[in-house]
């Protein structure tokens, strides 16, 4: 029963194979997951093609008109269909700023996840496969970092970078500093998971078979162990994306993230916050909603992926 009891003739075509797979089946069977996937896909698409999708370019001063400032959403008395979600203090279309903002948020999120994944998976592989003092050093480093909240680590790195960078480069480099800060703050989780999975895989006989013929340890790690530990890492990365977006938003909200000239969702919320009590609620509410929706849908996708990849829960 253990080896694929349902393994009847498998369709050859890749698309058919995907449609036929157990993972796709569990995906279709979960309406929440399908909705999250659609929502997340809309965000990714809009962010990727922002210049074409957004109705206005909010960062082109030529198109801005201060006369449009503080226009409420379209359904309010003073609203206009030209600005469906209203405008901010400088007359920028909120919907467009949200689309451009998600773009910044997602770029930072994806890059940070990729960065911490490369560091974490790399160190975790080394620690798990080589054990000994390499493992001790890597894992103790991870343990120490995990005792400090990730946001504090990110704040610290951000602060140090700000001091080191010359003033004229600060705004330009802000996004990279942010990616570095969030990326470094999150690597221990990847290292831990990778090390655990590596310890299991390392003792499997297919690794022994490669060692018997003298395959180089680095090659064994990359071609044998790595593909087999990527499952749990991908789950972590999905949830990590949501976390990274939140961390970015938090940093930007605190004012140490991206500058208002190229705002992310967090920056938009911070800027909008100033107008909350003067009645212009839409400036901060809609970016906040967008952030919550994005993070929630990515998180739900991660949850599903974790269950789908874990045969014990199936």
Partner 1 sequence: MALLEVENLRVEFPTRRGSLLALDDVSFQIEEGEVLGVVGESGAGKSLTGAAIIGLLEPPGRVTAGEIKLEDRRIDNLSYEEMRKIRGEKIGAIFQDPLTSLNPLYTIGRQLIETIRVHMDLTQEEAKGRAIDLLGEVGIPAAERRIDSYPHEFSGGMRQRVVIALALCANPRLIIADEPTTALDVSIQAQIIALIKKLCREHKTAVMLITHDMGVIAETADRVAVMYAGRIAEVGPVRRVVKQPKHPYTVGLMGAIPMVGHDVERLTQIDGAMPRLTEIPRGCSFNPRCPKVFARCREERPELMHAGRNAEAACWQFDKEGRRG
Partner 2 sequence: MAERSMSKLSSEPLLEVTDLAKHFDVSKPWLARKIEGAQKQILKAVDGLEFKINQGQTFSLVGESGCGKSTVAKLVVGLHKPSRGVIKFEGRNVADAHSRADSAALRRRWQMIFQDPYASLNPRWRVRDIIAEPIRVFGLVKSRDEQIDKVGALLTQVGLSPVDGEKYPHEFSGGQRQRISIARALSSNPEFLVCDEPTSALDVSVQAQILNLMKDLQKEFGLTYLFISHNLAVVYHLSDKIGVMYLGRLCEVAAAKDLFTRPQHPYTRLLLETIPDLEMTGRERVPVAGEVPNPINPPPGCAFHPRCPFANDRCRSEAPTPTERSGHIVACHAAEEGRLPDATFQAPKQPVAS
- Minimum Å distance from CB 276 to partner 2? 52
- Vertex 295 angle, CA 291 and 296, to 5°: 115
All residues at 6 or more sequence positions from 5 whose CB lies less than 8 Å from its CB, including other chains: none
Q: How far apart are CA 260 and CA 197, in angstroms?
A: 42
Burial class (CB in 10 A: 0-12, 13-18, 19+), 130: middle
Binding partner selected for residue 60 from partner 1, partner 2, none, CB under the kind-specific 5 to 8 Å limit = none
Is 3 one of the binding residues for partner 2 (CB under 8 A)? Answer: yes
Candidates 2-10, 63-71, 76-84, 245-253; binding stretch for partner 1 (CB under 8 A): 2-10
Q: How far apart are CA 114 and CA 98, in angstroms?
A: 24
> What's the N-to-C CA distance of the chain in angstroms?
15
Binding partner selected for residue 215 from partner 2, partner 1, none, CB under the kind-specific 5 to 8 Å limit = partner 2
Q: Is the dihedral of CA 177, 105, 40, 51 positive or negative?
A: negative
- Minimum Å distance from CB 204 to partner 1? 20
Binding partner selected for residue 6 from partner 2, partner 1, none, CB under the kind-specific 5 to 8 Å limit = partner 1
Binding partner selected for residue 204 from partner 1, partner 2, none, CB under the kind-specific 5 to 8 Å limit = partner 2
Q: Residue 31 or residue 311: which is nearer to partner 2 going by CB?
A: 311
Helix 31-48, helix 282-309: angle, nearest 10 = 120
Cα R_g (the chain), whole angstroms: 23
Listing DSSP states for 220-289 in one string gives IIIIIIHHHHHHHHHHHHHHHHHHHHHHHHHHHHTTSSS-TTS--HHHHHHHHHTTGGGT-THHHHHHHH
Binding partner selected for residue 210 from partner 1, partner 2, none, CB under the kind-specific 5 to 8 Å limit = partner 2
**The binder of partner 2 chosen from 1, 6, 7, 52 (CB under 8 A):** 7
- Minimum Å distance from CB 24 to partner 1? 11
CB atoms within 10 A of CB 143: 11
Is 4 one of the binding residues for partner 2 (CB under 8 A)? Answer: yes
- Minimum Å distance from CB 24 to partner 2? 17
Is 8 one of the binding residues for partner 1 (CB under 8 A)? Answer: yes
Q: Are 89 and 268 in contact (CB under 8 A)?
A: no
Q: How far apart are CA 29 and CA 191, in angstroms?
A: 32
Q: Are 310 and 193 in contact (CB under 8 A)?
A: no
**The binder of partner 2 chosen from 6, 62, 213, 313 (CB under 8 A):** 213
Binding partner selected for residue 209 from partner 2, partner 1, none, CB under the kind-specific 5 to 8 Å limit = partner 2
Is 209 one of the binding residues for partner 2 (CB under 8 A)? Answer: yes
Binding partner selected for residue 208 from partner 2, partner 1, none, CB under the kind-specific 5 to 8 Å limit = partner 2
Q: Residue 3 or residue 60: which is nearer to partner 1 going by CB?
A: 3
Is 6 one of the binding residues for partner 1 (CB under 8 A)? Answer: yes
Binding mask 13-52 for partner 1 (x = CB under 8 A): ------------x---------------------------
Residue numbers of the site for partner 1 (CB under 8 A)? 1, 5-8, 25
User: What residue ranges bind partner 2 (CB under 8 A)?
Assistant: 2-4, 7, 10, 204-206, 208-215, 224, 227-228
């Amino acid at each position: 029963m253990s080896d694929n009891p349902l393994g009847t003739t498998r369709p050859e075509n890749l698309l058919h194979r995907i449609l036929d797979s157990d993972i796709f089946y569990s995906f279709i069977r979960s309406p929440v997951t399908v909705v999250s996937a659609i929502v997340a896909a809309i965000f990714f698409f809009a962010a990727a093609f922002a210049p074409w999708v957004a109705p206005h370019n909010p960062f082109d001063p030529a198109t801005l008109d201060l006369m449009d400032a503080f226009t409420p959403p379209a359904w309010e008395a003073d609203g206009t269909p030209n600005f469906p979600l209203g405008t901010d203090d400088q007359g920028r279309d909120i919907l467009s700023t949200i689309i451009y903002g998600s773009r910044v948020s997602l770029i930072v999120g994806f890059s940070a996840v990729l960065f911490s994944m490369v560091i974490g998976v790399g160190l975790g592989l080394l620690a798990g496969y080589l054990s000994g003092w390499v493992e001790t050093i890597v894992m103790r480093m991870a343990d120490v970092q995990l005792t400090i909240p990730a946001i504090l680590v990110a704040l610290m790195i951000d602060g140090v970078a700000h001091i080191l960078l010359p003033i004229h480069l600060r705004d330009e480099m802000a996004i990279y500093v942010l990616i570095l800060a969030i990326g470094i703050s999150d690597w221990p989780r990847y290292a831990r998971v990778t090390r655990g999975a590596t310890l299991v895989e390392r003792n499997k006989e297919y690794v022994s078979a490669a060692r018997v013929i003298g395959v180089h340890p680095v090659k064994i790690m990359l071609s044998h162990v790595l593909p087999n530990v990527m499952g749990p890492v991908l789950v972590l990365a999905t949830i990590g994306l949501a976390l990274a977006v939140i961390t970015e938003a938090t940093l930007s909200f605190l004012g140490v993230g991206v500058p208002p000239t190229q705002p992310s969702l967090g920056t938009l919320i911070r800027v909008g916050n100033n107008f909350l009590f003067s009645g212009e609620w839409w400036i901060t509410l809609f970016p906040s909603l967008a952030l919550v929706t994005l993070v929630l849908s990515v998180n739900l996708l991660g949850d599903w992926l974790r269950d789908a990849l874990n045969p014990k829960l199936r």
